[in-house]
Amino acid sequence: METKDNYNGAMQIPVRSGFNASSTTHDVIKGVNLTGKTIIVTGGYAGIGLETVKAFVSVGAKVIVPARDINKAANNLKGIPNVTVEAMDLMDPASIDAFAAKFLSEQGPLHILVNNAGIMWVPLQRDQRGYESQLATNHLGHFQLTAKLWPALKKAKGARVINVSSFGHQMAPFNFDDPNFLNREYETLQGYGQSKTANNLFAVELDHRGKTFGVRAFSLHPGSVNGTDLGRVAPMSLFQQMGTHDANGNIFPEVAATLKTVEQGAATSVWCATSNQLNGIGGVYCENADIAELDEGNIEHNYSDPSSLRGVKPYAVDKANAQKLWALSEEMTGIRFSL
């Protein structure tokens, strides 16, 4: 039987998983056994990444957390068994290579890779190559990491790669003409949006290429989550612009009431990584622990109602865009990601 892929959203159909926006990591991990499995979670020491790590460890997995801030990571993960912290900075290609080389020399198969770390709403910053920081961190760093860990993913004979994307992909398609804002005015939400679109397109193409080797890829929107440090550097005016905060900078109580807890926010990552309901499926964008609907203008969005922020844009699962992004990512990182 030929396994299909998600080019142009071909598999973007909810499976009626039985879960919803209020489902937690505890709900989706019930009955799962990860004993003997090795997992890497980038950014696994804060927010939904930390919650994802706790869920995996609770069912027997061994988890490695690459971290830019080793001390913060060690502190936040203190007391959690079977977790190792290693140094890595997604904005520093040499550190990604060093982390991957160490993993390949010391570990066996890699069963699950969760590309969870991300930055958002930052002022214009560039890495040493001149690449815009949200693109470099959220996509290019993870593209390089996945490429370098590929031998270990193949070795698992049934691995999953999870890209934590966002509804924010709806803010911007990928700008192939000027991804690094060299010839257009920098808008942080445009930068964030295209980096999240890249997460989706990367999952589509990685799944297409990887399924022959038993590696399936997924992307997801965790939901609007309270208590993460993702928006830590955002100016209040951005939140006000989105209609979530009042003139004094306070979140509207009715908005706060609709936000997910961290346990709910991490549920979709954990579901994508472990659910049998996704066997034989890949390249899909998920939300609320289910496959999301294709958003062809049929879904009304209202930023003060997070439950309406759903669906995946056709441009973020488009076959030509996915192939083009893969080639551009190889060119920008200088890596030939051959499978």
- Radius of gyration for the alpha carbons in the chain, expressed in angstroms and rounded: 18
Number of residues that make up the chain: 339
CB-CB neighbours of 212 under 10 Å: 10
DSSP 3-state assignment of 312? strand
DSSP helix/strand/coil, 190: helix
Angle between helices 141-148 and 93-106 (to 10 degrees): 30
| Angle, helix 188-210 to helix 141-148, in steps of 10 degrees | 20
**What one-character-per-residue DSSP string does 96-164 give?**
HHHHHHHHHHH-----EEEE-----SPPS-B-TTS-BHHHIIIIIHHHHHHHHTHHHHHHTSSEEEEEE
Instruction: Return the residue matching tokens 């973007």.
Output: 12
Asked whether the beta carbons of 216 and 282 are under 8 A apart, the reply is yes
Q: Smallest Cα–Cα separation from 272: which of 256, 288, 294?
A: 288
- Catalytic site includes residue 131: no
* Active-site hit among 192, 285, 303, 315: 192
Q: Please calculate the CA angle 333-334-338 and round it to the nearest 5 degrees.
A: 100
Q: Where in the sequence numbering do the catalytic residues fall?
A: 192
